[in-house]
């Protein structure tokens, strides 16, 4: 479609250039007429190049827009706050307290969470239920400080998470996302990316999840190459599961 129209425009330019040369032959030198026609013959190629370059510019300017957008993103909290380091075993109980907690995604937006006041005690398993946009995922983002609070605070085992460095906080919590990220490597690396556990502990975890037989039948066992699908072994006191119904067998998905 575009090529046909560009060719038509180029042909019209060549036609009218030749026509003007014929009509004004008495007042225009023949050399100038020849030069004009030669230049007109290159018009189609120039039009194609111009359109292609403008399309390339429009496509690549998106990268500049992204850089500009990211340059204006507010920097998150310090990686580690030396003035408030949690104990090595924190959180050892897993008690989470929301104290009149508010959250908004940006300053000019309405509150996504307003006045949340609750306490999740040690050993409790709590499910957050609500329609799309009710704030279920927002609460998880708040606990990991992906979005900072607009008021109130969250306290885990007696320590307000706003005082911690984001590394200390996020490394002590576990999340099982709806679409887990798996790294290219071995099965063992995906189960224990930081090399903190022994093979015996990994096999025990696989046994608990009914995957020991499957992994045992693999040619390389824990050294089996993984490209997609998998999970990480963690023993954290607090675990977040997004879309919890998707990881439970159908037989257990009933409300009593």
Note the pLDDT tens digit of each residue in 106-149: 888 888 888 889 999 988 888 888 888 788 888 888 899 988 88
The DSSP call for residue 44 is H
Domain ranges of the chain: 1-71, 96-171, 185-243
Q: Is residue 256 predicted with pLDDT exceeding 50?
A: no
Which helix (H) or strand (E) segment holds residue 167: the answer is helix 166-170
Q: Of 21-25, 154-158, 215-219, which one has max mean pLDDT?
A: 154-158
Who has greater pLDDT, 190 or 246?
190
- CA–CA gap between residue 6 and residue 8 (Å, rounded): 5
Q: Could you give the dihedral angle defined by the CA atoms of residues 220, 223, 224 and 229, in that order, rounded to the nearest 10 degrees?
A: 150
**Cross-strand bridge partners of residue 241:** 176
Which helix (H) or strand (E) segment holds residue 180: the answer is none
Separation of CA 54 from chain center: 30
pLDDT of residue 209: 84
Which helix (H) or strand (E) segment holds residue 120: the answer is strand 113-120
pLDDT of residue 156: 92
8 Å CB contact between 120 and 139: no
Q: Strands 149-156, 96-103: parallel, antiparallel or unpaired by DSSP? A: antiparallel
pLDDT in tens, 159-190: 999 999 999 998 888 887 777 677 778 888 88
pLDDT of residue 97: 92
Residue 228: which pLDDT band, with cuts at 50, 70 and 90? low
HSE-CB for 88 with a 13 A CA cutoff: 0
Question: CA quadruple 194, 196, 199, 204: dihedral positive or negative?
Answer: negative
pLDDT of residue 252: 47
Q: Residue 91: is the preceding peptide bond cis (ω within 30°)?
A: yes
Q: Is residue 155 predicted with pLDDT exceeding 90?
A: yes
Q: Is residue 229 predicted with pLDDT exceeding 80?
A: no
Residue 245: which pLDDT band, with cuts at 50, 70 and 90? low
Q: Is residue 17 predicted with pLDDT exceeding 60?
A: yes
Give domain 96-171's CATH superfamily: P-loop containing nucleotide triphosphate hydrolases (3.40.50.300)
3-class DSSP state of 100: strand
Residue 254: which pLDDT band, with cuts at 50, 70 and 90? very low
Q: Is residue 191 predicted with pLDDT exceeding 80?
A: yes
Least confident segment among 28-32, 142-146, 247-251: 247-251
pLDDT of residue 195: 86
Say what the pTM is: 0.59
- CA–CA gap between residue 66 and residue 84 (Å, rounded): 34
Who has greater pLDDT, 29 or 169?
169
- CA–CA gap between residue 3 and residue 238 (Å, rounded): 61
pLDDT of residue 237: 58
Who has greater pLDDT, 13 or 177?
13
- CA–CA gap between residue 17 and residue 43 (Å, rounded): 11
3-class DSSP state of 159: strand
């Amino acid at each position: 479609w575009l090529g046909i129209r560009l060719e038509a425009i180029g042909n019209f330019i060549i036609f009218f250039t030749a026509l003007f040369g014929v009509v004004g032959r008495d007042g225009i030198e023949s050399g100038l007429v020849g030069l004009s026609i030669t230049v007109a013959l290159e018009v189609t190629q120039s039009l194609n190049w111009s359109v292609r370059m403008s399309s390339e510019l429009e496509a690549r300017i998106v990268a500049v827009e992204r850089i500009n957008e990211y340059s204006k993103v507010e920097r998150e909290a310090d990686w580690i706050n030396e003035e408030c380091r949690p104990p090595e075993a924190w959180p050892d109980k897993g008690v989470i307290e929301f104290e009149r907690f508010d959250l908004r995604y940006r300053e000019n937006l309405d509150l996504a969470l307003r006045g949340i006041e609750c306490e999740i005690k040690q050993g409790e398993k709590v499910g957050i239920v609500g329609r799309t946009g009710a704030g279920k995922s927002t609460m998880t983002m708040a606990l990991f400080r992906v979005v900072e609070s607009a008021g109130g605070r969250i306290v885990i085992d007696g320590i307000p998470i706003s005082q911690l460095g984001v590394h200390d906080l996020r490394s002590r919590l576990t999340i099982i996302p709806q679409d887990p990220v798996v790294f290219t490597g071995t099965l063992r690396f995906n189960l224990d990316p930081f090399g903190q556990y022994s093979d015996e502990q990994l096999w025990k975890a696989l046994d608990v999840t009914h995957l020991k037989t499957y992994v045992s039948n693999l040619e390389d066992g824990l050294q089996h190459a993984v490209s997609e699908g998998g999970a990480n072994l963690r023993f954290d006191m607090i675990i977040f599961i997004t879309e919890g119904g998707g990881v439970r067998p159908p037989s257990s998905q009933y409300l009593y």
